[in-house]
Amino acid sequence: MIMSIRDSVEYRELTPYLAVGYAEGFEQADSDEQVLAAWQYIYDKCIYHTLQGFFGRTIARMLVSGEIEK
């Protein structure tokens, strides 16, 4: 069974600040999984609505490609 990114430790340990930091790169992520979890968190919490357009465009692309889940 494939585990959802939402069930990962990386996802559960995120805060809005850390998620945006990992996604934008001003906080150092330890793994690619941590970065994907950050993008999933930004989508799930609708944080991207309050950020610059880059975040919304990236979320849209990641949803289409299946990198993050609806």
pLDDT tens sequence across 3-62: 799 999 999 999 999 999 999 999 999 999 999 999 999 999 999 999 999 999 999 999
What's the pTM? Answer: 0.93
Helix H, strand E, coil C: the string for the chain is CCCCHHHCHHHHCCCHHHHHHHHHCCCCCCCHHHHHHHHHHHHHCCHHHHCCHHHHHHHHHHHHHCCCCC
